[in-house]
């Protein structure tokens, strides 16, 4: 396929919104990794999700370069399948999981279990049993009652390495529903009210548990490195207090993830190098101030690795004009992307596969589901001649869309397709009506 340079594509000239390989192709199309998006829509149907494999790998490597002495673990909740496990293992990343279900692909693909971190505010007995059976590297304790429950399940002479998730009291993140570093929410244990120290004392009293460090997660879509530096300062001061009171020097510090990506052209999205430079510099100076050795650092990028590599493809089903607004209804919606309905996420949208000279007009892209809130993108610029059958491409779609997909209206979850070097291959097939019927056993 002949593709024009990215420089000619207007808003596509923002590599953090579209994959770096995106280029304008003949007929108003876009090629990613030299594969036509319009042709992918025809071959695999819509809605469908496309992942640029080389973009995913490049972003994983960027984190390794930015923090060469740290452990980088990919946050599986952003999106996980067996191919992703392979890519992360091959690029030297570990895996951060929240359930036995997320552990299963890692186990079946041979990722070394010591490179896996399990956390979650309410781990089930199955989650803990599976983690212990597989030999997961670290379990992150999120509540005092979890301490005894985990210790009781550790068998034999070996201990289980654990971290304690603490709340450093920092407000960070793009929306209140995705801010997880301040007091008064379901995650973690507060530094301010003493619950974190109380739980740490309990862990230290359990010989089957080996406390190796602290964990925190500030939130999601954090657009500047500053909150991470402040978290480092507070956590290092806390580590110094633990040393003085309990005589322990913890060797690890996990700062979680939450690193921002651009969903609209111009959105702030610092590079891994920008995050890494401030975090490591602050960590070194804070440890020197308190007379502590620098702990081994772990970070958990998920969205920043996978989101910019993904593109959602939809087909227009209807165009409606009402009260001065244009509604473009597509064959997906909140069942494959609940983020706009959950916390007002915004996206870039572009028609692909048909060129025209029609002027651009503001439109609202809506889904097919029976909810007034089923809106995928508000006030996006689309050609005035948009019509049923057109294909729409939504970039920055790799994270928290397929992984959060639901069965609403029994439409079936979409497939995931990887592209690389001019070729495509199916990673996750479309959920069929037969799949849905097979689960219905109540006759």
Active site (catalytic) residues: 370
What is d(CA 314, CA 330) in angstroms, rounded to the nearest whole number?
Answer: 6
DSSP bridge pairs for 71: 298
β partners of residue 320: 327
- Contacts of residue 18, defined as CB under 8 A and 6 or more positions apart, other chains included, come to 12, 30, 32, 308, 311, 395, 396
What is the Cα–Cα distance from 36 to 144, expressed in whole angstroms? Answer: 52
Q: What span, in angstroms and rounded, lies between the C-alpha atoms of 280 and 317? A: 50
Task: Find where tokens 């056993």 sit.
Answer: 441
CA–CA separation, 233 and 236 (whole Å): 5
Say if residue 47 is preceded by a cis peptide, omega within 30 of 0. Answer: yes
Token pair in block for residue 96: 């951060």
**Strand intervals (E) in 228-300:** 252-254, 296-299
- CA pair distance 193, 5, nearest whole angstrom: 56
List the beta bridge partners of residue 383.
360
What is the spatial distance between Cα 192 and Cα 258, in angstroms, rounded to a whole number? 22
Say which residues have a Cβ less than 8 Å from residue 322's Cβ, sequence separation at least 6.
none
């Amino acid at each position: 396929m002949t593709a024009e340079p990215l420089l000619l594509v207007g808003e596509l000239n923002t590599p953090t919104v579209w994959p770096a390989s995106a280029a304008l192709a003949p007929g108003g199309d876009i090629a990613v990794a030299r594969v036509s998006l319009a042709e992918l829509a025809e071959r695999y149907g819509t809605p469908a999700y496309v992942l640029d494999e080389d973009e995913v790998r490049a972003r994983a490597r960027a984190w390794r370069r930015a923090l060469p002495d740290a452990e980088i673990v990919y946050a599986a909740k952003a999106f996980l399948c067996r191919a992703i496990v392979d890519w992360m293992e091959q690029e030297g990343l570990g895996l951060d999981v929240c359930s036995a279900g997320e552990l299963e692909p890692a186990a079946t693909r041979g990722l070394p279990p010591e490179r896996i971190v399990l956390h979650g505010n309410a781990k089930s007995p199955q989650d803990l049993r599976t983690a212990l059976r597989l030999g997961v590297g670290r379990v992150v304790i999120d509540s005092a009652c979890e301490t005894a429950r985990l210790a009781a399940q550790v068998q034999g002479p070996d201990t289980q390495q654990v971290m304690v998730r603490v709340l450093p009291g920092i407000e960070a993140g793009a929306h209140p529903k995705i801010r997880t570093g301040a007091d008064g929410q379901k995650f973690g244990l507060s530094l301010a009210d003493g619950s974190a120290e109380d739980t740490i004392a309990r862990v230290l009293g359990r010989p089957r548990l080996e406390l190796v460090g602290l964990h925190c997660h500030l939130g999601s879509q954090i657009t500047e490195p500053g909150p991470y530096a402040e978290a480092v300062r507070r956590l290092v001061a806390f580590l110094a207090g633990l040393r003085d009171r309990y005589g322990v020097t913890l060797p690890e510090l996990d700062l979680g993830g939450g690193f921002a990506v651009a969903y609209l052209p111009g959105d702030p999205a610092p590079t891994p190098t920008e995050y890494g430079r401030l975090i490591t510099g602050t960590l070194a100076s804070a440890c020197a101030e308190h007379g502590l050795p620098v702990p081994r650092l772990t970070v958990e990028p998920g969205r920043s690795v996978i989101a910019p590599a993904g593109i959602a493809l939809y087909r227009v089903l209807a165009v409606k004009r009402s009260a001065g607004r244009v509604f473009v209804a597509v064959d997906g919606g909140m069942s494959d992307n609940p983020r706009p309905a959950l916390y007002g996420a915004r996206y870039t949208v572009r028609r692909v596969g048909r060129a025209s000279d029609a002027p651009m007009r503001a439109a609202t892209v809506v889904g097919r589901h029976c909810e007034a809130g089923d809106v995928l993108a508000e006030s996006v610029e689309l050609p005035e001649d948009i019509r049923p059958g057109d294909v729409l491409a939504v970039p920055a779609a790799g994270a928290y869309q397929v992984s959060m997909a639901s069965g609403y209206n029994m439409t079936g979850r979409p497939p995931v397709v990887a592209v690389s070097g001019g070729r495509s291959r199916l990673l996750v097939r479309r959920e069929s009506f037969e799949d849905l019927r097979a689960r219905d056993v109540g006759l």
